[in-house]
Amino acid sequence: MRRAPIERLLHALYTADLHSLDLTQFLLELERAFRSPVIALHIHDPAHGRGKLNLAFGAPPELPERYEELAPEHLWLQRGASRLLAEGVVDDRELATEHELQSSRFYAELLAPAGIRHGMAFCLHHNRTGHVTVLSLNRGRRAGSYSHEESKLAKTLLPHLRNVYALHQRLSWADSLAQGLRQALDRMSEAVVLLDGHGRTVYANEAATRVAGAGGALRIDQGIPHATWKPDERPLSQLIAQACSADAVEPCTLRLHDARGRIASVVKACPVPPAVASSWSETGIRAMLFVRDAVQPRPGPANLVATWGFTPSEAELAWGLMSGYSLKELALAGRVSKNTVRTQLRALFAKTGTGRQADLVRVLLQLTPN
């Protein structure tokens, strides 16, 4: 007696090798039941527009790399993510018009070359960080949209897929180790960002997420760390590139300024050797960024007077400069003219043997007892 599609699917699914996640027979049954020659397992971070293919069955060999590049422009996921989380199974019907889809770069550069016009997604898992694990079925225009009967079959299959995926996760020591590392990072008060070889964010702990969203010295845009203060942008890019290079050994440090040009944070970039990344089960990691507030012990005005012979007004100006304020701000705060502040600044230069404001602040911080 011929078995029903759901029976064949479940038999192939539950007899698969879960340790290696060898799903070849199951994928063949999926292709047969849903007339979907391209099947993929991918992980998405919809909030940041990132995605990665872990498995691509029946797809061109270049698809995984292209997918990671084009994931931020995944039109179906952009419009269907909330439904996917709520319903568990979603297909492409009503997500985009024919014109919208064919006008998208995602279709032109990824779907069309792979012969894909229609897709159906199963939500296997999603966690509190927003990452979603998706199994997608894909087929061409000739096969047409997925039918209501196929949707019903998919919803019957979904809980079994989730059970098997959860069991595989529990059996996967490597995945547990990686998750354990990220959980440990989330418990740290210091902001930590894990970067891949291209300087893109693989993971940012909770502290880093807060720092990047607080309008401070560092922000993360589309997975790329950026400096808020424009003059810091190039040094930060160079710092990250150096730390992520294959021959990097030593950590590098850079001070970052806030939007007003005041020193606000210190970022330390540490290379991660491949062997270390592998031991963490984070094989894509090439560097770690540690970000902390630029806490600088500043001597008070009384110490400045005693050490350098400043007048009280000169000491107040020196203390303000060490705190990151501009001459204009200090003039307004002290209710004096800019000329008065400039005269006091020249006196500070003369008494400390410096000629530039940056050198003045450095000397005062280094040589004044706190």
Q: Which domains does the chain have, with CATH numbers?
A: 5-171 (3.30.450.80), 175-293 (3.30.450.20), 301-367 (1.10.10.10)
- For residues 354 and 363, the answer to whether their CB atoms sit within 8 Å is yes
Rounded to an integer, the average pLDDT of 88-97 is 92
Mean pLDDT (whole number) for 213-226: 86
pLDDT, one tens digit per residue, over 121-141 is 999 998 877 789 999 999 999
Instruction: Please say whether the dihedral angle defined by the alpha carbons of residues 108, 109, 115 and 118, taken in this order, is positive or negative.
Output: negative
* Mean pLDDT value across the chain: 86
Q: Which span out of 43-47, 242-246, 361-365 was modeled with the highest average pLDDT?
A: 242-246
- Pairing type for strands 118-126 and 38-45 reads unpaired
Name the DSSP class of 356: S
Q: Model confidence over 6-54: pLDDT tens digits?
A: 999 999 888 887 666 677 888 999 999 999 999 999 888 877 778 888 8
Confidence band of 1 (pLDDT split at 50, 70, 90) = very low
Q: Indicate the burial class of 249 (C-beta count within 10 angstroms; 0-12, 13-18, 19 or more).
A: exposed
What is the predicted pLDDT for the residue at 168? 73
Give the model's pLDDT for residue 178: 64
Spell out the residues 6+ positions from residue 304 whose beta carbon is closer than 8 angstroms to its own. 310, 314, 315, 318, 319, 364, 368
Q: Comparing C-alpha atoms, which of 254, 249, 255 is closest to residue 270?
A: 249
pLDDT score of 242: 92
pLDDT at 172: 58
pLDDT at 193: 93
Cα separations in angstroms, 245 against 20, 39, 42, 242, 350: 32, 34, 27, 5, 44
Confirm if 70 and 109 have CB atoms less than 8 A apart. yes
pLDDT of 251 strictly over 80: yes
Cα 193 to Cα 239: distance, rounded to the nearest angstrom? 14
Asked whether residue 205 carries a pLDDT value surpassing 70, the answer given is yes
pLDDT per residue over 296-334, tens digit each? 556 788 888 888 999 999 999 998 888 778 888 888 888
What's the token pair of residue 101? 């889809």
- Say whether 56 sits in a helix, a strand or coil: strand
Can you give the pLDDT at residue 166? 82
Residue 212: pLDDT band by 50, 70, 90 thresholds?
A: confident
**According to the model, what pLDDT value does residue 344 have?**
94
pLDDT tens sequence across 153-187: 999 999 999 998 887 776 554 555 566 778 888 88
Q: Quick one: how far is CA 238 from the chain centroid? A: 18
